[in-house]
Structure 1
Amino acid sequence: MQVFAEFIKADLSEDQILPVLRQLLPVLLNILGAPEQHSALTRSRTLSVFCQCVEALYMVKDQFPDAVKEATNSVLPVWLDALKTLLNVNPLQDVENSSNWDGLAIRIQVFKTLNIIHTSFPRALTPHLHDLLNASIHHLSVFYPTFNHYYLQGGAAVPHSSEDETIELIHLVCPMLDFVGRLARSGRARDWFEGENFANLVNLVFSWAQMTQSDEEEWADNANAFVAQESDDSFSYSVRVAGFDLLGVLLERSTIATIKAFQVTIERVIAQSQQQRESGSQDWWRPLEAALAAVGSQGEDMLDAIDDEIDSGRGKPIDIESLLTNVIPSYLVLSQFPFLQGRAFVFASQYAKLLPGQLAVQYLEAAIQVLEASEAGVPVKVSAVKAIHNFCQNMDDAVAVPLAPRIAKDIGPFLPVTSDDTLTLVLETLAAVVEIDDGKWITEDLARAIVVACLDVWMKNNRDPIFISILANVFESLARSPAYQAVVQQALPALTNALTAATDVDSYVASAAFELVAALIQGAPQTGLGDGVFAMLAPALYASLRSTEDRDTIQNGIIALTHIVRKDVNQLIAWSDPATGQSGLDGVLQVIAKQLQGEDESGSLFIGDLIIHLLRRAGEAILPVLPQLLEAMVRRMGSAKTATFLQSLVIPFAFLIHNQRDTVLDLLEGVQADGAPALDVLVRTWCENAETFQGFWPPRISTLALCSLFASERPSLQTLVVKGDIIVKPETKNVPTEFTSVPFPVKALKLLLHDLQSGGEAASMGFSAKDVSEVASDDGDEEWAEEEALHQGFKADEFAFLSDMLGPRGMAFDNDDALEGADDEDLKNDPVSTMDMQACVLPFHSAHLLGFFKECAARNTGRFSAAVQQLTPEEIQVMQKVVGQH
């Protein structure tokens, strides 16, 4: 069977699969249906081979659609009937009075097969859904006593198979829960997921999610294993993870019904657990811990749903507040049941938003006391750290600030003694703590202690990008605090030493050091870096960037240098290297020059940001070297290949042209780049790549500068020929793409009109009649007609046309939220990002471009009319609607 599975998977070509399966599948089915002749393990392996057959059919269904359809229509119903027959055999006979659990192997493969069929040919399952769901819930119910005996109570060892392998019950339940989840997610058999079936399913998931004896033994001493199974992105294969995933699907598909089922189930579990406790059971806590974990695992979605119900006036579908006030506090002191005690902390933190301030403080203080208790074990301490992390993220700063210094001091000792997942949790918690109230409570002594501990973690883990990222967040938050000077004085010596000592062999050290330096600079005050900070950092920074060829080191170093230019360019300009006399500005220009000369464009993706901020911040200091810089950038355009790198080269010119058009154009017209005028190279590159520019600020500055270029009416631009539209030749699909050739003014209008049509980041007009505001225009009309005034200067039909063209209300992207994080804060606050050029309610691009087109039409700027006539008929029609019949 193993040979067959590998043969089908790897050795058959597409045209061989169907003939082989026609002969193989009937043989497999005969073996599967002959328990008196073949062992359970052999029969289970036929299902494994059948799974591979189904996947093979799925892979060739596009090449042979008719044959595959015929095969699946004839094969799958027969096999699905066989699978149902196998499931209908009494499940208990596989685990009772038996020296082995070989029979379970068949059921395991049945549900794995059902999952494969649902993925590949889901329609085939439709007639069988209710039967299969009923069988699933029956198996969960019938096998639970066995699970309780062998796994929860540890009453006996799980029997080995006849081939001396362990067949676990969880290997059946996990694919079973996955299968039910798939059906719930697909929306099929919707009527089954109602009423008694639904309540039973939720009850069973809560029961099967209990912590086993094996879990308890492993997690009691292995903090990493405990943290890993608790993480939101856990990859562990367990009943608990599969069960919580299923609950998440149910919550998504039937939100209120699921939450109400949670309420009923958790009330039942609390009552039954109390009864078991009073009767002397030592396992009374297990169902309770599982129920709290189940409800807690859906915390974020539950809170959103509860808010929606309250806002709609329908009341709360579950009373979490009652649990937090009347039930959970009594579990916080049960140190003899550490997993329940820890779960209580975590559960409360997951619903911290529902806690009143004073009660939240009590919970947080209780978690802190656990951290400080020497006798507390691993599970409860780890749970306390996770709870503190959640509390710090979800509580009001005013509530958390009084306890923040104490938390930071308590977390510190965990940093040198944890690793892997546990260290990640501790670092994330520290990052959340130092963010409280922007770190205003952080003293210099505390900041130094945190920096020392974090640097120790960094030196031990400087290959791990996750740790470095979290440490960078901590450093940035510390730098934003009042203890900034103490932070940089403590951190920079170690980081600069690492930059100096690192070579390309251990380049990850320098790369990580630059990442932390960038975080410190980014968090520095807007008033500047402080005396001596750049002098401390500069020699190592420039030396590292001059010597390294490592891509990550270069990128992180350029990012750090860009932050320095943004935060304190004057300190950079004023500095000079005592050894060489080189100025700080010379060092920046050398870094730029090296990247422009290099062939690895991925290492230069951030060079454009550095150049832009240098131009924006350095002022007159850069004027003496500006011609050489611009010439080097134009020369590099000829060999640049990637869109991102080309954007880095073009956008600085767009910025300069927007601010100093004629000066820059005069300069470029007098410079040659690879035998062609530099202005020609720039404009051709710009026109070919303008529609690929990413971010919020770059497309805006590009649009402004293109408008300015068009309006300049320069003879050199009027006669410059650039690529136009793609020439479509359907009969020659494999030949290289060809383009028309058009004068630059025509291409500029095409780009600007396309920007208006697609909306760029301004995809909607987003206004109504009551928002009327005049669009400034020199079209000669001092007064608009009443109809035009109601429609932003357009007639009703023109207004309707533009509204359709630019998109419906509510779809505007002309705001920073639409491209959150695409540009840094300096560019988001730049006038180009915030200006409303026409002082109207139209979004930026719409307002500016509409006004621009109207003015050009009225004045025939740049021979506008002649340029418009060279547009496509569709573009001409749009332009006529935009500017009117000029």
Structure 2
Amino acid sequence: MQVFTEFIKSDLSEDQLLPVLRQLLPVLLNILGEPDQHSALSRARTISVFRQCVESLYMVKDQYPDAVKEATATVLPVWLSAFQTLLNVAPRSDVENTPNWDGLAIRIQIFKTLDIMQTSFPRALTPFLKEFLRTALEHLSALYPTFAHFYLQSAASVPDSSEDETIELTHLVCPMLDFVASVARSGKAKDWFEGTNLAGLISGVFSWVQMTSEDEEEWANNANAFVAQESDDTLSYSVRMAGFDLLAVLVERAPVASLVNFQNATQRVIAESEQARNSGSQDWWRALEASLAAIGSQAEDVLDVIDDERDSGRTPPIDIVSLLTNVIPNYLVLSQFPFLQGRAFVFASQYAKLLPEQLAGQYLNAAVQVLEAAEAGIPVKVSAVKAIHNFCQNIDDAVAVPLAPRIAKDIGPFLPVTSEDTLTLVLETLAAVLQIDEGKWITEDLARSLVVAVLDVWMKNNKDPIFISILTDVLESLASSPAPGIYQTVVQQALPVLCNAIMSSSAVDSWIAGAAIDLVSSLVSGAPESGLGEGFFAMLAPSLFSCLRTTEDRDVIQNGIACLTLLIRKDINQVVSWSDPATGQSGLDLILEVIAKQLQSEDESGGLVIGDLIIHLLRRAGDAVLPVLPQLLQAMITRMRTAKTATFLQSLIIPFAFLIYNQRDTILSLLEGINIDGRSGLDILIQTWCENAETFQGFWPSRISALALSSLFASERPSLQNLMVKGDIIVKPETKNAPTEFTSIPFPVKALKLLVHELQSGGESAAMGFNSADLADLDSDDGDEEWTEEERANQGFKADELAFLSDMLGPRGMAFDNDDALEEDDDEDLKNDPVSTMDMQAHLVSFLKECAARNTNNFSAIVDQLNPDEILVVRKAVSGQ
């Protein structure tokens, strides 16, 4: 069977697949239906082969639509009927009074296959859906006593299979929950997910996500494993993760009804747990911990539902406040049950927004006390750190400030003794603590000790990008503290160490230099508005420029250029006034050397980074850059002729746009004087600009381009009027396969076209977004017949979900106009620049009106050369419509 699986997956060509399946599937079905002649494991493997067949059919459905439709219509229902029959056999028969659990293997393979079919051929599955959902719910109920006996109580060992492999209950429950979640997410069988079914499903999940005795043993001794299972991006899939995923889908699809069942299930668990505790059970806490973990896993959505219901004047469907006030405090002191104690802290922190200030302060103080308690074990201490992280993000600074110094001091010692996921949690918590009240409470001694600890962590983990990312946040938070003397203390402690790392790293360990430069950038980002402080650039420059001069590592170069850009933005005076004692070169000379090296490089991957550097140098350096400006512009024009990528071309064009907007005639004269192989610099720039203007990424670049183009249009300079540039595509239906041809039009016409395009997009860069062509409703087996009208109108999503995806993805998969998606996300200079804040649409309309009134550049004749749509836009703008 394994050979068949691999054979179908790898060795069959598309045209061989269907004939082979016609011969193979009936034979497999016969084996599956003969329990007296074939073992359960052999029969289970036939389902595994069938599942691979389904996946292969799905892969070729576009190439062979008719044959695949025939196969799905004739073959799939037969197998689904067989699955139905097999699942209707009582599941306990596979785990009770039997030497092994081989029979579970068949159920495992069935639910794995159903999950695949729900994704690939949902329409074939639709007639059977409710029956399979019913059997899934029955399995959860029927098999739970076995789960409790073997996994929660460890009263016996799970038997080996007849082939000496362990078949676990979890192997069945995970794909079963995945299947139910997939159906719920699709919006199908909606009426099944109501009433007693929904109640049973949620109650079942609450039971099955309990911590097993094996989990307890591992997590009690392995902090990283304990933290990892709590992580949103955990790679260790489990019943708990599958259960939480199903709960998330249910809350999304039926928020109020789901939370009513959360409330009911929790009240039942609290009562049953108390009863079990009073009767002497040592496992009474497990169901409580699981229920709190389940509700906590959905905290964000639960809080949203509570807010929505309150805003609508209705009573929230779940009373979290009562839990936080009357129930959870009782568990905070149960040190003999560390997992429940820790869960209580984490749960309270997840719903901290609902806590009154006084109670929030008491919870936070209790978590700090646990952190400081010598006798507390791993689960409780890790939970306390997690809770503190959540509290710092979810409660008012006024509540957290009194405890902030103490928390930071307590967390510091964890840094050198933790690793992996635990270290990540500790660092993220420290980063959150340092942001409380902008770090005004930080003392010099605390800052010094934290910097030492942070650098120690970095030296041990300088290859890990996740750690480096968090460490840069921590250093920036420390450096940006407005408390007296903190910035200077942090720089004095960190900068010499980082400069030494940059200078001493070699090509073999270049990542050390790259990470060190990142950390230096975090110091620069955190520097006060008054500047970097005396001697900062003088200490950094020799190592930074030496590294950029010698390294060939792309990431190090980009990190270094980004750091230089920050230095220019923060304190251009230090950069301009410094000179290298060894060579006499100024800081400006060395930056131009870096730019020249990048312009000469064939590697264009850092296009936007070098463009940022040039822009900020021109914006900040002022007259200091004038002596070297002709040399810089000639180098950029020269490179423009061979540049290939859109981002690199943008990095060369936008600085010219900025200069032209501010010093048009001076720059145009310089460009006219540049001659490269018989072409003027102006000709090269304008041709390249016109071909790439509509691909510019980012808010500020697109705007400065439009402003500069309008300035060029208004200049009426003969050298511009006589330039011919690439216009519109020439459509020739009879020569469909011929190379694309374009018209040739005067520059003023092209400039006006680009300005009209900018005006049509509302004064922003055009966002193409989703449209009917992108999301065509293909005639496929998507099974959308049960979608609501809202979902049908929005490709299976709710309107707000589609809007979110549209905003996130933007045009053709990237939000080109979303500042947060590009390099400007932290660039306050450009966000606050007048170019970013002006009313661009009003400016463009005013510009067109003025051109029409003055007939600038023979405006009326140029307008006549536009296409009809463009002419209409201009006329509306000029007439004020």
Fold in common (TM above 0.5):
yes
Cα separation, 1, equivalents of 2:514 and 2:10: 42
- Give the deviation of 1:818 after TM superposition: 5.3
Count of aligned pairs: 831
Name 1:860's counterpart in structure 2. Answer: 855
Amino acid of the residue matched to residue 847 of structure 2?
A: F
Name 1:785's counterpart in structure 2. Answer: none
Name 1:747's counterpart in structure 2. Answer: 750
Residues 812-827 of structure 1 aligned to structure 2 (within 5 Å): 819-820=819-820, 822=822, 823=824, 824-827=827-830
Amino acid of the residue matched to residue 286 of structure 1?
A: R
- Give the deviation of 1:605 after TM superposition: 3.2
Compute the TM-score of the two structures, normalised by the length of structure 1. 0.92
Q: Secondary structure at the match of 1:724?
A: strand
Q: Does 1:323 align with 2:323?
A: yes
Name 2:705's counterpart in structure 1. Answer: 702
Q: Secondary structure at the match of 1:527?
A: coil
Match of 1:579 among 573, 579, 582: 582
Judge conservation of contact 1:696–1:833 (CA < 8 Å) in 2: yes
Name 2:468's counterpart in structure 1. Answer: 468
Cα separation, 2, equivalents of 1:760 and 1:260: 48
Higher relative contact order (CA 8 A, sep 6+): 2
Q: Does 1:681 align with 2:676?
A: no
Cα separation, 2, equivalents of 1:587 and 1:882: 48
Residues 842-881 of structure 1 aligned to structure 2 (within 5 Å): 844-881=839-876
**Which ranges in structure 2 are unaligned for 5 or more consecutive residues?**
768-805
Name 2:77's counterpart in structure 1. Answer: 77
Name 1:667's counterpart in structure 2. Answer: 670
Residues 86-235 of structure 1 aligned to structure 2 (within 5 Å): 86-235=86-235
Cα separation, 1, equivalents of 2:52 and 2:608: 44
Name 1:625's counterpart in structure 2. Answer: 628
Amino acid of the residue matched to residue 611 of structure 1?
A: I
Cα separation, 1, equivalents of 2:407 and 2:879: 67
Name 1:494's counterpart in structure 2. Answer: 497
Cα separation, 2, equivalents of 1:570 and 1:845: 32
Cα separation, 2, equivalents of 1:275 and 1:325: 21
Cα separation, 2, equivalents of 1:731 and 1:484: 70
Name 1:360's counterpart in structure 2. Answer: 360
- Give the deviation of 1:743 after TM superposition: 0.8
Name 1:761's counterpart in structure 2. Answer: 764
Q: Does 1:718 align with 2:710?
A: no
Q: Does 1:548 align with 2:551?
A: yes
Cα separation, 2, equivalents of 1:565 and 1:313: 54
Q: Secondary structure at the match of 1:644?
A: helix
- Give the deviation of 1:825 after TM superposition: 0.4
Judge conservation of contact 2:702–2:765 (CA < 8 Å) in 1: no
- CA pair 354-78 structure 1, distance change in 2 beyond 3 A: same
Amino acid of the residue matched to residue 491 of structure 1?
A: A
Amino acid of the residue matched to residue 466 of structure 2?
A: I
Residues 55-74 of structure 1 aligned to structure 2 (within 5 Å): 55-74=55-74
Q: Deviations over 1:159-212 (max 9, x none)?
A: 000000000000000000001001111111101111111111100000001000
- Give the deviation of 1:880 after TM superposition: 2.6
Judge conservation of contact 2:758–2:766 (CA < 8 Å) in 1: no
- Give the deviation of 1:734 after TM superposition: 4.0
- CA pair 816-85 structure 1, distance change in 2 beyond 3 A: closer
Cα separation, 2, equivalents of 1:126 and 1:107: 19
Q: Deviations over 1:551-603 (max 9, x none)?
A: 00011101111110000000111111111111111111111111111111113
Identity of aligned residues (%): 74
Q: Secondary structure at the match of 1:742?
A: strand
Cα separation, 2, equivalents of 1:204 and 1:589: 66
Residues 336-355 of structure 1 aligned to structure 2 (within 5 Å): 336-355=336-355
More divergent stretch after superposition (410-419 vs 726-735)? 726-735
Judge conservation of contact 2:551–2:557 (CA < 8 Å) in 1: yes
Judge conservation of contact 2:357–2:399 (CA < 8 Å) in 1: yes
Q: Does 1:559 align with 2:594?
A: no
- Give the deviation of 1:28 after TM superposition: 0.5
Amino acid of the residue matched to residue 508 of structure 1?
A: W
- CA pair 762-741 structure 1, distance change in 2 beyond 3 A: closer
Q: Secondary structure at the match of 2:243?
A: helix
Amino acid of the residue matched to residue 871 of structure 1?
A: L
Amino acid of the residue matched to residue 376 of structure 1?
A: A
- Give the deviation of 1:695 after TM superposition: 1.2
- CA pair 487-674 structure 1, distance change in 2 beyond 3 A: farther
Name 2:414's counterpart in structure 1. Answer: 414
Q: Does 1:32 align with 2:32?
A: yes
- Give the deviation of 1:763 after TM superposition: 7.5
Amino acid of the residue matched to residue 862 of structure 1?
A: N
Cα separation, 2, equivalents of 1:92 and 1:599: 67
Cα separation, 1, equivalents of 2:817 and 2:225: 39
**Which ranges in structure 1 are unaligned for 5 or more consecutive residues?**
765-809, 836-843
Cα separation, 2, equivalents of 1:320 and 1:877: 59
Cα separation, 2, equivalents of 1:191 and 1:616: 62
Cα separation, 2, equivalents of 1:514 and 1:675: 42
Q: Secondary structure at the match of 1:582?
A: coil
Cα separation, 2, equivalents of 1:831 and 1:874: 31
Compute the TM-score of the two structures, normalised by the length of structure 2. 0.93
Q: Secondary structure at the match of 2:581?
A: coil
- Give the deviation of 1:133 after TM superposition: 0.7
Cα separation, 1, equivalents of 2:60 and 2:877: 51
Q: Does 1:692 align with 2:687?
A: no
Name 1:427's counterpart in structure 2. Answer: 427
Judge conservation of contact 1:762–1:846 (CA < 8 Å) in 2: no
- Give the deviation of 1:884 after TM superposition: 3.9
Amino acid of the residue matched to residue 411 of structure 1?
A: I
Judge conservation of contact 1:762–1:845 (CA < 8 Å) in 2: no
Q: Secondary structure at the match of 1:549?
A: coil
Judge conservation of contact 1:635–1:674 (CA < 8 Å) in 2: no
Cα separation, 2, equivalents of 1:745 and 1:2: 69
Q: Secondary structure at the match of 2:605?
A: helix
- Give the deviation of 1:816 after TM superposition: 13
Cα separation, 2, equivalents of 1:582 and 1:290: 66
Cα separation, 2, equivalents of 1:294 and 1:673: 68
Q: Secondary structure at the match of 2:61?
A: coil
- How big is the alpha-carbon RMSD for the aligned residues of Structure 1 and Structure 2? 1.7
Cα separation, 1, equivalents of 2:492 and 2:243: 50
Match of 1:509 among 507, 512, 515: 512
Q: Deviations over 1:376-430 (max 9, x none)?
A: 1111111111001001111111111111111111111111111111111111001
Amino acid of the residue matched to residue 220 of structure 1?
A: A
Cα separation, 1, equivalents of 2:334 and 2:739: 74
- Give the deviation of 1:853 after TM superposition: 1.2
Residues 12-23 of structure 1 aligned to structure 2 (within 5 Å): 12-23=12-23
Name 1:635's counterpart in structure 2. Answer: 638
- CA pair 674-261 structure 1, distance change in 2 beyond 3 A: farther
Amino acid of the residue matched to residue 590 of structure 2?
A: G
Amino acid of the residue matched to residue 193 of structure 1?
A: F
Name 1:778's counterpart in structure 2. Answer: none
Amino acid of the residue matched to residue 870 of structure 2?
A: E
Match of 1:590 among 590, 593, 601: 593
- CA pair 64-371 structure 1, distance change in 2 beyond 3 A: same
Amino acid of the residue matched to residue 247 of structure 1?
A: L
Q: Deviations over 1:689-721 (max 9, x none)?
A: 111111111111111000000000011110101
Q: Secondary structure at the match of 2:606?
A: helix
- Give the deviation of 1:637 after TM superposition: 0.5
Judge conservation of contact 1:595–1:604 (CA < 8 Å) in 2: no
Name 1:772's counterpart in structure 2. Answer: none
